[in-house]
Amino acid sequence: MQVKSLVAVAGGGLVERRSFLRKGLSLGSLAVAADALHAESKPSAPIGDQLPRPMKTPGGGDAPYGLPTVHESKVVRTESRTAGFSVWRSPLQAQRGIITPSGLHFATHHNGVPDITPENHSLMIHGLVDRPLKFDIESLQRYPMVSRIHFLECAGNSAANALSITALDQSLGELAGEVSCSEWTGIPLSYLFREAGVKDKGAWVIAEGADAGSHARSLPMSAVLKDGFLALYQNGERLRASQGYPMRLFMPGWEGNVNVKWLHRLEVVDGPAFTKDESGLYSQVLSNGQIERFAFHMEVKSVITHPSGTQQMPQAHGFYEISGLAWSGRGSIAKVEVSTDGGQSWALANLHGPVLDRAFTRFSIPWQWNGKKAVLMSRATDTTGRVQPTRQSWKARYAAHSFNHYNAIQAWAVGKNGRVENTYA
Residues 373-412 touching its own copies, rule: CB under 8 A, are: none
Q: How far is the CB of 251 from its own copies (least distance, A)?
A: 18
Query: In 10 A of CB 52, how many CB atoms?
Result: 6
How many residues lie near its own copies (CB under 8 A)? 121
Query: What track of x and - describes contact with its own copies for positions 341 through 370 (by CB under 8 A)?
Result: -----------x-x-x-----x-x-x----
Query: What track of x and - describes contact with its own copies for positions 167 through 206 (by CB under 8 A)?
Result: ----------------xxx-----xx-xxx----------
Phi-psi region of 379 (alpha: psi -120 to 50; beta: other; left: phi over 0): beta
Residues of span 93-132 touching its own copies by CB under 8 A: 94-105, 107, 109, 111-118, 120-122, 124-126, 131-132
Question: Which residue, 50 or 390, has its beta carbon nearer to its own copies?
Answer: 50
Question: Which residue, 42 or 142, has its beta carbon nearer to its own copies?
Answer: 142
Question: Which residue, 213 or 343, has its beta carbon nearer to its own copies?
Answer: 213
Query: In 10 A of CB 302, how many CB atoms?
Result: 27
Taking CB under 8 A as the criterion, the residue among 8, 11, 19, 27 binding its own copies is: 27
Question: Which residue, 140 or 377, has its beta carbon nearer to its own copies?
Answer: 140
Instruction: Give the separation between CA 268 and CA 197, rounded to whole angstroms.
Output: 10
Q: What dihedral angle (degrees, nearest 10) is formed by the CA atoms of 384, 226, 357, 207?
A: 110
Q: How far is the CB of 112 from its own copies (least distance, A)?
A: 3
Q: How far is the CB of 126 from its own copies (least distance, A)?
A: 5
Q: How far is the CB of 81 from its own copies (least distance, A)?
A: 10
Instruction: Give the separation between CA 39 and CA 236, rounded to whole angstroms.
Output: 48
Question: Which residue, 149 or 224, has its beta carbon nearer to its own copies?
Answer: 149
Instruction: Give the separation between CA 420 and CA 103, rounded to whole angstroms.
Output: 27
Instruction: Give the separation between CA 291 and CA 402, rounded to whole angstroms.
Output: 10
Query: In 10 A of CB 197, how many CB atoms?
Result: 15
Burial of 261 (0-12, 13-18, 19+ CB in 10 A): buried
Question: Which residue, 188 or 389, has its beta carbon nearer to its own copies?
Answer: 188
Do strands 350-351 and 361-369 pair parallel, antiparallel, or not at all (unpaired)? Answer: antiparallel
Phi-psi region of 229 (alpha: psi -120 to 50; beta: other; left: phi over 0): beta
Instruction: Give the separation between CA 211 and CA 229, rounded to whole angstroms.
Output: 20
78 makes contact with its own copies (CB under 8 A): yes
Do strands 291-292 and 263-269 pair parallel, antiparallel, or not at all (unpaired)? Answer: unpaired
Residues of span 311-330 touching its own copies by CB under 8 A: 314-315, 319-321, 323
Do strands 333-339 and 122-127 pair parallel, antiparallel, or not at all (unpaired)? Answer: unpaired
165 makes contact with its own copies (CB under 8 A): no
Residues of span 255-284 touching its own copies by CB under 8 A: 262, 264
Burial of 418 (0-12, 13-18, 19+ CB in 10 A): middle
Question: Which residue, 161 or 364, has its beta carbon nearer to its own copies?
Answer: 364
Question: Which residue, 86 or 383, has its beta carbon nearer to its own copies?
Answer: 86
Query: In 10 A of CB 209, how many CB atoms?
Result: 25
- Tell me the window of 42-50, 83-91, 248-256, 278-286 that interacts with its own copies (CB under 8 A): 83-91
Measured CA to CA in angstroms, residue 297 lies from 63, 254, 271, 328 at distances of 41, 4, 19, 8
Question: Which residue, 214 or 390, has its beta carbon nearer to its own copies?
Answer: 214
Question: Which residue, 54 or 289, has its beta carbon nearer to its own copies?
Answer: 54
Q: How far is the CB of 243 from its own copies (least distance, A)?
A: 8
Instruction: Give the separation between CA 11 and CA 308, rounded to whole angstroms.
Output: 19
Q: How far is the CB of 167 from its own copies (least distance, A)?
A: 25
Residues of span 223-242 touching its own copies by CB under 8 A: 232-233, 235-242
76 makes contact with its own copies (CB under 8 A): yes
